[in-house]
Chain A
Amino acid sequence: MIKVKDLKKTYAGKVPVHALKGVSFDIPSGQFVALMGPSGSGKSTLLHQLALLDTPTSGGILLDGVDILSLSQHAATAFRLRHLGYVFQEYALIPELNAIENAFLPLMLLGMHRKEYMRIAGDLMDKVGLSDRLHHLISELSGGEQQRVAIARALVNKSKILFADEPCANLDTENKGIVLRLLRKLCNELGQTILMVTHEPEQREFADRVLWLRDGRLEKEEYISKDTQEEALHNGYRTDISSDPDYLKDD
């Protein structure tokens, strides 16, 4: 459950920039929400505030009942590690680590035993269709594969909330489809709450709901029908079905 109340963010400077001008909304658990709007509307800024990567100027944020703005820096770091997942726009992986090492990193930070985190990360890598690429270095993976590793890493801590900042921005059509179907599946099957920033209108069809931002304000919201979702899940961004991970083909 995400509750945002009158959230404001102003970047100081000679000419202060009011990136968020009082945004309020609720996202119930298990909902896949697309955050859309033109460039400079405040989408990424909003996501950064919610994911504790930045501090808002004012307002309130509750994530699963926790007032995250009251957390100390140390507690915020621990909260991110234990409760949140974040998929960056670019393939934000550690180049010195291979695929599975990137995926299990949060579990290692949590102090889990090697055997246990290898099993969990291995299962997730299997779910994102990369069980045969576990020990490949990041430089040996395609853009789509890297983004799937990033999703596995974001989910490995069993986070209930997943933030994705234009996760398909640098992917080709085929990989966009793979990643979006994966996110939809996660929401359906694991009950993951997902907030995804995107600027491509087609991508919103994978979500349950769309929040439209304009000039730092919530302009409108839109609910996506189940039929549209199903249609997107089966045909959206699809070029070659055989290249999808097995996990995505089962229905």
Chain B
Amino acid sequence: MLNIWNDFQSALFLFFKYVTRGNKVTLVLTVLMATLAFIQINLVHGILSGAVNLIYSQTKNNYVGNIVIQPGKDRWGNNEEYIKQVELLKRKINAIPGIIGCSARYSLGAIIEYDPDKTGKDIRSISWPVKSVNPDDEMRTSELHNYMLAGEYLDESDRDQIVMGREVSGGYGASLEVQSLKGVDIGDEVTVFYHNGVVRKYTVKGIYATVFPLADMTVFVTQKEMESVLGIHDRASEIIIRTDEAYPEAYYIQELRRAGVELQDIRPWQDFIGLVLGIAQSFDIIKRIILLIGLIVAGVTIFIVIFIATISRRKQIGIMKAIGMKESIIVTSYILLALFYATIGISLGMAIIEFILKPYFIAHPLVFPMGRVSLLIVRSEFLTSIASMLAVSILAGFIPSWQVSRENIIKAIWG
């Protein structure tokens, strides 16, 4: 044990001298490469994680919450059209610890028409489902009311008012103009032809934009209005649930089942973003590739530096062995050197990310189709990149120094 400690001290001594008396330009350039490789890994990871996180948070905040309850099957195995005894269910749901709120929604297909000059010559219509909300409940489960571009959100008493996303109204920078009402604004009147035959006229009370297309392609009326259209009460097409996210959705689904939500279909939010989830999975693959490339760049750089250092010190290494220095001491000294390059590179990279890149991206977020993306440094990915860089640098220090230190002493000294 004492020998090992002594050998390590000797390696540490050599390493310290390599750093303090070695070529400073090589030191700076190698550290710079390690820094850039580390930043590259974490910058790309941060942007992609930020994008994925944005998709996920937009989905939960503005689209389907954390959990969605849908109608189950009846006793004959047929799909029910509505969830029944909604008020009772809502009480059960809200009693579960960790549930922030729930909101029952109706959803009914409709054709929405807009006649801007009321002459019948330029009628714009789209086929779109209309959803209903209880505004008080909805404010606890979604953040749509915070994204009003024009006008206001619904009140519980509203009956002839409608709120729509900008992708339905058109205008306000909507990206799907062709499928929209092409420029409906607040105060305009639209006619809704519900699929059950009921026709209602509504005044546009508000237009919102979360910048998340799935959320911005929705039209809302109040629950009371929809119940009068449908002629039913205490039913719902879906119940949106928000949780405190202290536990995964699977836990709360289990709790919902335990609380008596047995007959309905309960799904986590991930089930509603199949297409987007595919993008997120693709981002994960890109992240792995970037990590691999970054590690190869850092590893090869350090390897080359250590390789050149050991080759150019071949004679010195031979002499060190000739005076009785163990190979392990020589190898350890170069591993320490490689670790030093990596550690300083990582530290500088961390400082640049924390104090330059993060503030920059907060001030100037990237504009993605689903919203504004800033850097999201995921702790586990960050730690993985650090551990991987250190592991690669150990390997990059070990291989060349081990090769040279194993060389015959005479050959090493005299070539």
Give every chain A residue within 8 A of B329 (Cβ-Cβ).
Answer: 109
Q: Which B residues are CB-close (under 8 A) to A93?
A: 319
A48-B410, A101-B17, A111-B6 are contacts. A92–B22 as well, Cβ < 8 Å?
no
User: What residue of chain A has the Cβ atom nearest to residue B19's Cβ?
Assistant: A96
B323–A95 contact, CB under 8 A?
Answer: no
A103 to chain B, nearest CB (A): 11
Which of B321, B323, B410 is within 8 Å of A153, CB to CB? B323
Instruction: Indicate whether A51 reaches chain B with its CB closer than 8 angstroms.
Output: yes
Q: In the complex, how many angstroms separate the beta carbon of A2 from the nearest chain B beta carbon? A: 18
B326 interface residue (CB < 8 Å to A):
yes
Interface residue B324 (Cβ < 8 Å from any Cβ of A): yes
Interface residues of A in 35-91 (CB under 8 A from B): 48, 51, 53-54, 74, 77-82, 84, 86, 88
* B13 proximity list for chain A (CB < 8 A): 108
Q: Interface extent on B, as a size class? A: 20 to 34
Residues of A within 8 A of B324 (CB): 77-82, 84, 106, 109, 157
- In whole angstroms, what is the CA distance A97 to B13 when docked? 10
B147 lies within 8 A of chain A by Cβ: no
**Given the known A-B contacts A48-B410, A77-B324, A101-B17, are A92 and B10 also in contact in the complex, defined by CB atoms under 8 Å?**
no
A186 interfacial by beta-carbon distance below 8 Å: no
Contact yes or no, A96 B21, CB < 8 A:
yes
B2 interface contact, C-beta 8 A:
yes
* Residues of chain B within 8 A of A88, CB atoms compared: 319, 322, 413
> Given A96-B17, A108-B13, does the pair A86, B323 have CB atoms closer than 8 Å?
yes
Closest to B17 in A: A96
B139 close to chain A: CB less than 8 A? no
Q: Is the CB of A53 within 8 A of B322?
A: yes
Contacting residues, chain B, for A79 (C-beta < 8 A): 324
Nearest-neighbour CB distance to chain A for B183, whole angstroms, equals 75
Would B22 and A86 count as touching, CB distance under 8 A? no
A79, A92, A97, A101: residue with the most chain B Cβ atoms closer than 10 Å? A92
Write the nearest CB–CB distance from A14 to chain B, whole angstroms. Answer: 18
**A106 — nearest CB in chain B belongs to which residue?**
B323
B320 within 8 A of A: yes
Q: Is B96 an interface residue (CB 8 A)?
A: no
**Interfacial residues of chain B within 8-56, with CB under 8 A of chain A in the complex:** 9-10, 13-14, 17-18, 21-22
CA distance A154 to B322 in the complex (A): 11
Contact B315 A92 (CB under 8 A): yes
Give Cα A80–Cα B21 distance, bound, in whole angstroms: 27
* B409 CB contact (under 8 Å) in A53, A81, A82, A84: A53
Look across to chain B and name the residue whose beta carbon is closest to the beta carbon of A81: B324
Q: Is A137 an interface residue (CB 8 A)?
A: yes
Quick one: given A80-B322, A81-B324, A105-B323, are A96 and B409 in contact (CB under 8 Å)?
no
Instruction: Point out the residues of chain A lying under 8 angstroms from B322, CB to CB.
Output: 51, 53, 80, 86, 88, 92
Which of A48, A54, A94, A95 is in CB contact (< 8 Å) with B320? A94
State A30–B319 Cα separation when bound (angstroms): 25
- Tell yes or no: B3 within 8 A of A by CB: yes
Per the bound structure, the CA–CA distance linking A42 and B92 in Å amounts to 98
**A109 B409 Cβ-Cβ under 8 A:** no
Which residue in chain B gives the minimum CB-CB distance to A95? B316
Q: Bound state CA distance, A53 and B14, in angstroms?
A: 22
**What are some 21 contacts across the A-B interface (CB < 8 A)?**
A53-B322, A54-B408, A54-B409, A80-B323, A80-B324, A81-B323, A81-B325, A84-B324, A86-B322, A86-B323, A88-B319, A93-B319, A94-B17, A94-B319, A95-B21, A96-B18, A96-B22, A108-B13, A109-B329, A111-B2, A153-B323
Q: Which 4 interchain pairs have the tightest Cβ spacing?
A: A81-B324, A111-B6, A80-B324, A96-B17
In the complex, given contacts A81-B324, A111-B2, what are 18 additional A-B residue pairs having Cβ atoms less than 8 angstroms apart?
Answer: A51-B322, A54-B408, A77-B321, A77-B324, A78-B324, A80-B324, A88-B322, A92-B316, A92-B413, A94-B316, A94-B320, A96-B14, A96-B17, A96-B18, A105-B320, A105-B323, A109-B6, A111-B6
